[in-house]
Structure 1
Amino acid sequence: MIQSSSSSMPKLYLLTNDDEFVLLYQKLEAALATGFIGLLQVRRKKTLALPDGESKLYKEASKIVELARTYNVPVVINDDIDLAAKLGVGVHLGQEDGNISDAKQQLSATQIIGRTCHGDINLVTEAKNDGASYAAMGAVFTSTTKPKADIVARQQLVEGCQQGIEMCLIGGLTPENVLELKDLPITYVAVVGDIMDLPVERIAERCQQWHEVFLKWGTLAP
């Protein structure tokens, strides 16, 4: 159901927030039903911090993965290779949260493996050499989710996109500012608050706005 008018058009990459699960599920269903989400990351730090966090996260993630499969949207689990393997999905790894080689051993060849690289070109190159599916750079702009995150310089983004690995950009991105990046060959534009901070009834409209901007991206790209 995901629509595309140009091979250069990025995919919208949605990350979960820490809403209560019932509300989170409603928001995810509203977003996924639009057909405009290209990748979904399960990131539930507050759930994981609970005394029974691991079992709770497994139950939540299982339901989210089942929902995403209904809409044919691939899923990655934040930082947890074992959980990703149990659920048959991909994983996104921070720099301190596991090795890409371990992920490749435990996951199937079709599963996505992402790597956080911040603004470091050497980390992007390392992610490529290690066999990651994509490298994530950011923050691009000031983010409500991580307001203290360092902003990555434009030149670093340009160089990151030249390393021969699919690129994901994250951090303060909105439909109103993302076209500032239209000259970069980006595979994923990752968002959390811009969509997940909205009430359920506004989610679909916001996803539609993202899609319309990406259609412009396709016509404006060199």
Structure 2
Amino acid sequence: MNTSVTDMLEVYFIAGTQDTDDLPVVLEQALEAGITCFQFREKGEGSLEGQPLKLEEMARRCQALCRRFAVPFIINDNIDLAMKLQADGVHVGQDDLSILEVRKKVGPQMIVGLSTNTLEQYEKALTATGVDYVGIGPAFQPRSKKDHEKVMGLDTIKEAMNKGKAIPSVAIGGINETNAASVWETGVDGLAVVSAVSQSENIKESVSHLKKASDFHK
């Protein structure tokens, strides 16, 4: 995987089996359409949580697809699984292990992402050792996550970007092809989407619109 962290964030697809009827099929279509990164996030109602063998099997299927398209494969929260599969990276939240502990476990090569949901958390992440990129949001009301954090809004995300870009950032939360251009205007390095791809009736078109938004911004 030779993609830079900044480049991989451009169109960052996040999903698990709870988000779609057939994750491998949807992921393959998304990869063909041009997503730049995939995060395997298996959580919540309808997911494979509590079924470690099935969860690992699904993760391996998704990883194999990502490898075929040379797209980074990130695992959400499950550090042990990420290490077992030698994933390209792991993404953790504010309530998980500290970044120092995560980095100590995974070593120097694995990509480590951190979610930030307030301006204060983002500023703290800028000076944290071991973070390769930050997720920031929710930008809008998420469709895919019931227990989401308070919506930050674009003005706060833009304020965060103005405080410094020491670490690549990807916006998340309710982003779709109709509001993507306004998210790019905040200064983030990429868009993270769930429902915009997993529930799309035309994945190729949806990803194309997200990319057009990013190309327009550049």
Normalising by the residue count of structure 1, what TM-score does the alignment of the two structures yield?
A: 0.83
Q: Secondary structure at the match of 1:116?
A: strand
Q: CA deviation at 1:19?
A: 4.3
Task: Specify the SS of the correspondent of 2:17.
Answer: coil
Instruction: Tell me the distance in 1 between the aligned counterparts of 2:125 and 2:114.
Output: 6
Pairing 1:194–2:196 present: yes
List gaps (5 residues or longer) in structure 2.
1-5
Q: Check the 8 A contact 1:142/1:149 in 2, yes or no.
A: no
Q: Distance in 1 between matches of 2:94 and 2:183?
A: 25
Taking the aligned partners of 2:152 and 2:177, their CA distance within structure 1 comes to: 19
Aligned residues: 208
Residue 22 of structure 1, CA deviation: 7.1
Q: Partner of 1:23 in structure 2?
A: 22
1:114 is displaced (CA, Å) by 0.9
What letter is aligned with 2:156? Q
Paired AA for residue 77 in structure 1: I
- Where 1:172 maps in the other structure, the secondary structure is coil
CA distance in 2, matches of 1:9, 1:58: 24
Contact 2:49–2:55 at 8 Å: present in 1 too? no
1:47 is paired with a residue whose SS is: coil
Deviations 1:133-186 (CA, angstroms, capped at 9, x unpaired): 111111111221135642104443123223322111111111211211333331
Unaligned runs of 5+ in 1: 1-6
TM-score, length-normalised on structure 2?
Answer: 0.84
**2: CA distance between counterparts of 1:72 and 1:66?**
10
Q: Secondary structure at the match of 2:74?
A: strand
Map of 1:30-41 to 2, 5 A cutoff?
30-34=29-33, 36-41=34-39
Q: Which residue of 1 aligns with 2:90?
A: 91
Aligned residue in 1 for 2:75: 77
